[in-house]
Structure 1
Protein backbone atom coordinates (compact mmCIF):
# COMPACT_ATOMS: atom_id res chain seq x y z
CA UNK A 1 0.00 0.00 0.00
CA UNK A 2 2.86 2.41 0.80
CA UNK A 3 4.34 1.83 -2.66
CA UNK A 4 1.06 2.85 -4.29
CA UNK A 5 0.91 6.00 -2.13
CA UNK A 6 4.48 6.88 -3.08
CA UNK A 7 3.79 6.46 -6.79
CA UNK A 8 0.47 8.33 -6.72
CA UNK A 9 2.03 11.21 -4.76
CA UNK A 10 4.99 11.43 -7.14
CA UNK A 11 2.72 11.39 -10.20
CA UNK A 12 0.32 14.01 -8.78
CA UNK A 13 3.18 16.34 -7.81
CA UNK A 14 5.00 15.68 -11.08
CA UNK A 15 1.96 16.57 -13.16
CA UNK A 16 1.46 19.75 -11.12
CA UNK A 17 5.08 20.70 -11.70
CA UNK A 18 4.63 20.07 -15.42
CA UNK A 19 1.60 22.34 -15.63
CA UNK A 20 3.28 25.13 -13.66
CA UNK A 21 6.50 24.79 -15.67
CA UNK A 22 4.46 25.02 -18.86
CA UNK A 23 2.70 28.17 -17.63
CA UNK A 24 6.04 29.81 -16.81
CA UNK A 25 8.09 28.78 -19.83
CA UNK A 26 5.55 28.08 -22.59
CA UNK A 27 2.17 29.74 -22.11
CA UNK A 28 3.17 33.11 -20.66
CA UNK A 29 5.87 33.68 -23.30
CA UNK A 30 3.26 32.88 -25.96
CA UNK A 31 0.82 35.35 -24.36
CA UNK A 32 3.54 38.04 -24.24
CA UNK A 33 4.18 37.56 -27.97
CA UNK A 34 0.52 38.03 -28.92
CA UNK A 35 -0.93 41.43 -29.70
CA UNK A 36 -1.67 43.28 -26.46
CA UNK A 37 -5.37 42.52 -26.08
CA UNK A 38 -4.97 38.86 -27.07
CA UNK A 39 -2.24 38.28 -24.51
CA UNK A 40 -4.26 40.01 -21.81
CA UNK A 41 -7.34 37.94 -22.60
CA UNK A 42 -5.29 34.74 -22.68
CA UNK A 43 -3.76 35.45 -19.28
CA UNK A 44 -7.17 36.35 -17.84
CA UNK A 45 -8.72 33.13 -19.12
CA UNK A 46 -5.77 31.08 -17.87
CA UNK A 47 -6.07 32.80 -14.49
CA UNK A 48 -9.73 31.83 -14.25
CA UNK A 49 -9.23 28.26 -15.41
CA UNK A 50 -6.09 27.41 -13.47
CA UNK A 51 -7.15 29.55 -10.53
CA UNK A 52 -10.02 27.13 -10.03
CA UNK A 53 -7.97 23.93 -10.38
CA UNK A 54 -4.53 24.63 -8.94
CA UNK A 55 -5.53 25.28 -5.30
CA UNK A 56 -7.00 21.77 -5.12
CA UNK A 57 -3.93 20.33 -6.82
CA UNK A 58 -1.50 22.10 -4.47
CA UNK A 59 -3.40 21.02 -1.36
CA UNK A 60 -3.77 17.45 -2.64
CA UNK A 61 -0.03 17.31 -3.34
CA UNK A 62 0.74 18.58 0.13
CA UNK A 63 -1.68 16.17 1.83
CA UNK A 64 -0.39 13.18 -0.15
CA UNK A 65 3.20 14.10 0.76
CA UNK A 66 2.31 14.48 4.43
CA UNK A 67 0.50 11.12 4.45
CA UNK A 68 3.52 9.52 2.78
CA UNK A 69 5.84 11.00 5.41
CA UNK A 70 3.67 9.71 8.27
CA UNK A 71 3.14 6.28 6.69
CA UNK A 72 6.86 5.83 6.01
CA UNK A 73 8.11 7.36 9.26
CA UNK A 74 11.49 5.87 10.13
CA UNK A 75 12.10 4.44 6.65
CA UNK A 76 15.07 5.57 4.56
CA UNK A 77 14.14 8.61 2.53
CA UNK A 78 11.43 9.86 4.88
CA UNK A 79 13.44 12.98 5.66
CA UNK A 80 13.42 13.82 1.97
CA UNK A 81 9.63 13.49 1.90
CA UNK A 82 9.32 15.71 4.97
CA UNK A 83 11.49 18.39 3.33
CA UNK A 84 9.48 18.05 0.11
CA UNK A 85 6.26 18.52 2.09
CA UNK A 86 7.81 21.59 3.72
CA UNK A 87 8.60 23.00 0.29
CA UNK A 88 5.02 22.36 -0.78
CA UNK A 89 3.84 24.25 2.31
CA UNK A 90 6.11 27.11 1.23
CA UNK A 91 4.62 27.01 -2.28
CA UNK A 92 1.09 27.25 -0.85
CA UNK A 93 2.08 30.18 1.37
CA UNK A 94 3.74 31.92 -1.58
CA UNK A 95 0.64 31.32 -3.66
CA UNK A 96 -1.76 32.73 -1.09
CA UNK A 97 0.35 35.74 -0.14
CA UNK A 98 1.95 36.70 -3.46
CA UNK A 99 0.36 35.13 -6.51
CA UNK A 100 -3.35 34.74 -5.75
CA UNK A 101 -3.96 38.45 -5.09
CA UNK A 102 -2.51 39.37 -8.48
CA UNK A 103 -4.31 36.48 -10.18
CA UNK A 104 -7.64 37.47 -8.64
CA UNK A 105 -7.28 40.92 -10.17
CA UNK A 106 -5.90 39.71 -13.49
CA UNK A 107 -8.56 37.14 -14.19
CA UNK A 108 -11.16 39.93 -14.40
CA UNK A 109 -9.20 42.17 -16.78
CA UNK A 110 -10.48 42.96 -20.23
CA UNK A 111 -9.21 45.51 -22.75
CA UNK A 112 -11.89 47.86 -21.44
CA UNK A 113 -11.14 47.63 -17.71
CA UNK A 114 -7.46 46.75 -17.39
CA UNK A 115 -5.42 48.98 -15.10
CA UNK A 116 -2.65 51.13 -16.57
CA UNK A 117 -0.02 48.99 -14.81
CA UNK A 118 -1.40 45.60 -15.88
CA UNK A 119 1.84 44.58 -17.61
CA UNK A 120 3.85 45.46 -14.49
CA UNK A 121 1.48 43.37 -12.35
CA UNK A 122 1.67 40.48 -14.83
CA UNK A 123 5.48 40.65 -14.80
CA UNK A 124 5.48 40.65 -10.99
CA UNK A 125 3.25 37.56 -11.02
CA UNK A 126 5.65 35.92 -13.47
CA UNK A 127 8.67 36.61 -11.23
CA UNK A 128 6.92 35.15 -8.18
CA UNK A 129 5.80 32.21 -10.28
CA UNK A 130 9.37 31.44 -11.40
CA UNK A 131 10.38 31.18 -7.74
CA UNK A 132 7.36 29.01 -6.96
CA UNK A 133 8.22 26.72 -9.89
CA UNK A 134 11.76 26.33 -8.54
CA UNK A 135 10.34 25.43 -5.12
CA UNK A 136 7.95 22.79 -6.45
CA UNK A 137 10.59 21.36 -8.81
CA UNK A 138 12.84 20.92 -5.77
CA UNK A 139 9.98 19.22 -3.89
CA UNK A 140 9.36 16.91 -6.82
CA UNK A 141 13.05 16.04 -7.10
CA UNK A 142 13.14 15.16 -3.40
CA UNK A 143 10.05 12.94 -3.74
CA UNK A 144 11.56 11.14 -6.74
CA UNK A 145 14.81 10.67 -4.83
CA UNK A 146 12.91 9.29 -1.83
CA UNK A 147 10.98 6.97 -4.13
CA UNK A 148 14.08 5.43 -5.63
Structure 2
Protein backbone atom coordinates (compact mmCIF):
# COMPACT_ATOMS: atom_id res chain seq x y z
CA UNK A 1 0.00 0.00 0.00
CA UNK A 2 2.88 2.37 0.80
CA UNK A 3 4.37 1.75 -2.65
CA UNK A 4 1.10 2.78 -4.30
CA UNK A 5 1.00 5.96 -2.20
CA UNK A 6 4.59 6.76 -3.16
CA UNK A 7 3.87 6.31 -6.86
CA UNK A 8 0.58 8.24 -6.82
CA UNK A 9 2.13 11.13 -4.88
CA UNK A 10 5.14 11.31 -7.17
CA UNK A 11 2.99 11.21 -10.31
CA UNK A 12 0.51 13.82 -9.03
CA UNK A 13 3.30 16.19 -8.02
CA UNK A 14 5.24 15.45 -11.21
CA UNK A 15 2.28 16.31 -13.42
CA UNK A 16 1.70 19.47 -11.36
CA UNK A 17 5.31 20.46 -11.99
CA UNK A 18 4.86 19.76 -15.70
CA UNK A 19 1.75 21.92 -15.95
CA UNK A 20 3.26 24.81 -14.03
CA UNK A 21 6.54 24.54 -15.97
CA UNK A 22 4.65 24.62 -19.27
CA UNK A 23 2.62 27.64 -18.15
CA UNK A 24 5.82 29.51 -17.30
CA UNK A 25 8.00 28.52 -20.23
CA UNK A 26 5.61 27.53 -23.04
CA UNK A 27 2.05 28.86 -22.71
CA UNK A 28 2.73 32.37 -21.40
CA UNK A 29 5.51 33.08 -23.94
CA UNK A 30 3.18 31.91 -26.74
CA UNK A 31 0.38 34.13 -25.43
CA UNK A 32 2.78 37.08 -25.12
CA UNK A 33 3.69 36.71 -28.80
CA UNK A 34 0.09 36.87 -30.05
CA UNK A 35 -1.03 40.08 -31.75
CA UNK A 36 -3.33 42.60 -30.13
CA UNK A 37 -5.11 41.57 -26.96
CA UNK A 38 -5.32 37.90 -27.88
CA UNK A 39 -2.59 36.92 -25.43
CA UNK A 40 -4.29 38.83 -22.66
CA UNK A 41 -7.56 37.06 -23.44
CA UNK A 42 -5.75 33.74 -23.19
CA UNK A 43 -4.28 34.68 -19.81
CA UNK A 44 -7.68 35.79 -18.52
CA UNK A 45 -9.20 32.48 -19.62
CA UNK A 46 -6.28 30.58 -18.10
CA UNK A 47 -6.71 32.49 -14.83
CA UNK A 48 -10.32 31.37 -14.70
CA UNK A 49 -9.76 27.76 -15.76
CA UNK A 50 -6.57 26.99 -13.83
CA UNK A 51 -7.70 29.13 -10.91
CA UNK A 52 -10.61 26.74 -10.44
CA UNK A 53 -8.52 23.54 -10.65
CA UNK A 54 -5.15 24.33 -9.13
CA UNK A 55 -6.21 24.86 -5.49
CA UNK A 56 -7.39 21.24 -5.33
CA UNK A 57 -4.26 20.01 -7.08
CA UNK A 58 -1.90 21.93 -4.78
CA UNK A 59 -3.70 20.96 -1.59
CA UNK A 60 -4.09 17.36 -2.83
CA UNK A 61 -0.36 17.17 -3.54
CA UNK A 62 0.43 18.50 -0.10
CA UNK A 63 -1.95 16.05 1.57
CA UNK A 64 -0.47 13.13 -0.37
CA UNK A 65 3.04 14.21 0.63
CA UNK A 66 2.04 14.56 4.27
CA UNK A 67 0.33 11.16 4.30
CA UNK A 68 3.42 9.58 2.75
CA UNK A 69 5.66 11.25 5.35
CA UNK A 70 3.49 9.97 8.21
CA UNK A 71 3.03 6.49 6.71
CA UNK A 72 6.78 6.02 6.24
CA UNK A 73 7.98 8.11 9.19
CA UNK A 74 10.75 5.70 10.15
CA UNK A 75 11.64 4.74 6.57
CA UNK A 76 14.93 5.49 4.88
CA UNK A 77 13.50 8.31 2.74
CA UNK A 78 11.30 9.94 5.39
CA UNK A 79 13.50 13.03 5.70
CA UNK A 80 13.37 13.54 1.94
CA UNK A 81 9.58 13.23 1.91
CA UNK A 82 9.26 15.69 4.81
CA UNK A 83 11.50 18.11 2.92
CA UNK A 84 9.34 17.69 -0.19
CA UNK A 85 6.23 18.33 1.88
CA UNK A 86 7.86 21.47 3.27
CA UNK A 87 8.49 22.69 -0.28
CA UNK A 88 4.86 21.93 -1.13
CA UNK A 89 3.78 24.00 1.88
CA UNK A 90 5.94 26.86 0.61
CA UNK A 91 4.30 26.57 -2.83
CA UNK A 92 0.81 26.72 -1.29
CA UNK A 93 1.70 29.72 0.89
CA UNK A 94 3.29 31.49 -2.09
CA UNK A 95 0.21 30.80 -4.16
CA UNK A 96 -2.21 32.12 -1.55
CA UNK A 97 -0.13 35.14 -0.56
CA UNK A 98 1.34 36.23 -3.89
CA UNK A 99 -0.22 34.64 -6.96
CA UNK A 100 -3.90 34.14 -6.15
CA UNK A 101 -4.56 37.84 -5.41
CA UNK A 102 -3.19 38.79 -8.83
CA UNK A 103 -4.98 35.87 -10.48
CA UNK A 104 -8.29 36.94 -8.92
CA UNK A 105 -7.89 40.40 -10.45
CA UNK A 106 -6.82 39.04 -13.84
CA UNK A 107 -9.85 36.79 -14.25
CA UNK A 108 -12.15 39.82 -14.01
CA UNK A 109 -10.39 41.81 -16.73
CA UNK A 110 -11.94 42.58 -20.10
CA UNK A 111 -10.30 44.21 -23.10
CA UNK A 112 -12.36 47.32 -22.38
CA UNK A 113 -11.65 47.40 -18.65
CA UNK A 114 -7.95 46.92 -18.06
CA UNK A 115 -6.19 48.59 -15.16
CA UNK A 116 -3.39 50.97 -16.09
CA UNK A 117 -0.80 48.70 -14.49
CA UNK A 118 -1.98 45.43 -16.06
CA UNK A 119 1.41 44.70 -17.65
CA UNK A 120 3.20 45.24 -14.34
CA UNK A 121 0.72 42.89 -12.65
CA UNK A 122 1.34 40.23 -15.32
CA UNK A 123 5.10 40.64 -14.93
CA UNK A 124 4.83 40.32 -11.15
CA UNK A 125 2.71 37.18 -11.50
CA UNK A 126 5.26 35.71 -13.91
CA UNK A 127 8.19 36.43 -11.57
CA UNK A 128 6.40 34.87 -8.59
CA UNK A 129 5.40 31.93 -10.75
CA UNK A 130 9.02 31.28 -11.84
CA UNK A 131 10.02 31.06 -8.18
CA UNK A 132 7.06 28.77 -7.46
CA UNK A 133 8.13 26.49 -10.32
CA UNK A 134 11.61 26.20 -8.78
CA UNK A 135 10.01 25.32 -5.42
CA UNK A 136 7.81 22.69 -7.07
CA UNK A 137 10.73 21.17 -8.97
CA UNK A 138 12.61 20.92 -5.67
CA UNK A 139 9.63 19.17 -4.04
CA UNK A 140 9.41 16.74 -6.95
CA UNK A 141 13.16 16.07 -6.87
CA UNK A 142 13.01 15.22 -3.15
CA UNK A 143 10.07 12.85 -3.73
CA UNK A 144 11.94 11.09 -6.52
CA UNK A 145 15.06 10.88 -4.35
CA UNK A 146 12.96 9.30 -1.60
CA UNK A 147 11.92 6.58 -4.04
CA UNK A 148 15.47 5.59 -4.86
What band does the TM-score fall into relative to the shorter chain?
A: over 0.9
Structure 1 residue 51: Cα displacement: 0.2
Structure 1 residue 36: Cα displacement: 3.3
State how 1:70-85 maps to structure 2 within 5 Å: 70-85=70-85
Structure 1 unaligned regions, length at least 5: none
Matched, 1:134 2:138: no
State how 1:50-65 maps to structure 2 within 5 Å: 50-65=50-65
Contact 1:68 1:81 survives alignment (8 Å): yes
| Helix, strand or coil at the partner of 1:58 | helix
Structure 2 unaligned regions, length at least 5: none
Contact 1:40 1:109 survives alignment (8 Å): no
Q: TM-score, normalised by structure 1?
A: 0.99
1:59-81 deviations in Å (ceiling 9; x for gaps): 00000000000000111010000
- Counting matched residue pairs gives 148
**CA distance in structure 1 between the aligned counterparts of 2:36 and 2:88, rounded to whole angstroms:** 34
**CA distance in structure 2 between the aligned counterparts of 1:121 and 1:34, rounded to whole angstroms:** 18
State how 1:101-116 maps to structure 2 within 5 Å: 101-116=101-116
State how 1:1-148 maps to structure 2 within 5 Å: 1-148=1-148
